[in-house]
Amino acid sequence: MSLTLAIIKPDAVEGRKVGPILARLEEEGFRIRAAKFLRLDPDQAGAFYAIHRDRPFYEPLKTFMTSGPVLALALEREDAVPRLREVIGATDPAEAEAGTIRALCAENKERNAIHASDSEETARWELGFFFSTRELLGGA
């Protein structure tokens, strides 16, 4: 079993897609290990997406990710990282495979409903960004 990090983004929270997305993730075999509903501040959003700081979409992405609350999830499954990437689909919903979460819930490349870690190494860093070791082990 392995863990990955998902964030249900402000557009999906505002659009009342949290329930359907969680149901889909559970149907796909993911177990919720830890969850946090929070509003990121600009420094937190900037730090989380620091890898994109030189990209033209960095500032708009920060503005969007701080525009409302998000639900951060530590998700457990066999091959969690690649399986979650498959289930959510491509960044741009216009390119996402039919039936993926982004094909179903995302509006566009920026307002794309959900984030998922893109590698095992990223997952370790992103899980640590939101959760303590104790929280990831199932403690309070």
Say what the alpha-carbon torsion angle 46, 47, 51, 57 is, to the nearest 10 degrees: -10
Residue from 3, 62, 115, 131 in contact with ligand CMP (CB under 6 A) = 115
Residue 129 interacting with ligand CMP (CB under 6 A): no
Quote the DSSP letter at residue 138.
Answer: T
d(CA 123, CA 31): 16
User: At closest approach, how far in Å is the CB of 136 from ligand CMP?
Assistant: 20
Using CB under 6 A, which residues numbered 25 to 54 contact ligand CMP? 52
- Taking alpha carbons only, the member of 78, 77, 74, 84 closest to residue 134 is 74
Considering the rule CB under 6 A, would residue 117 count as an interface residue with ligand CMP? Answer: no
Answer yes or no whether residue 85 interacts with ligand CMP by CB under 6 A: no
> Toward ligand CMP, which CB reaches closer, 86 or 137?
86
Instruction: Return the range that interacts with ligand CMP (CB under 6 A); candidates 38-46, 93-101, 108-116, 121-129.
Output: 108-116
Separation of alpha carbons 128 and 140, rounded Å: 15
Q: Which of 24, 33, 102, 115 is catalytic?
A: 115
Distance CA 12, CA 122 (A): 23
Q: If we measure between CA atoms, which residue out of 81, 88, 87 comes closest to residue 112?
A: 88
Q: Which of 61, 96, 101, 105 binds ligand CMP (CB under 6 A)?
A: 61
**What is the contact surface with ligand CMP in residues (CB under 6 A)?**
52, 57, 61, 91, 109-110, 112, 115
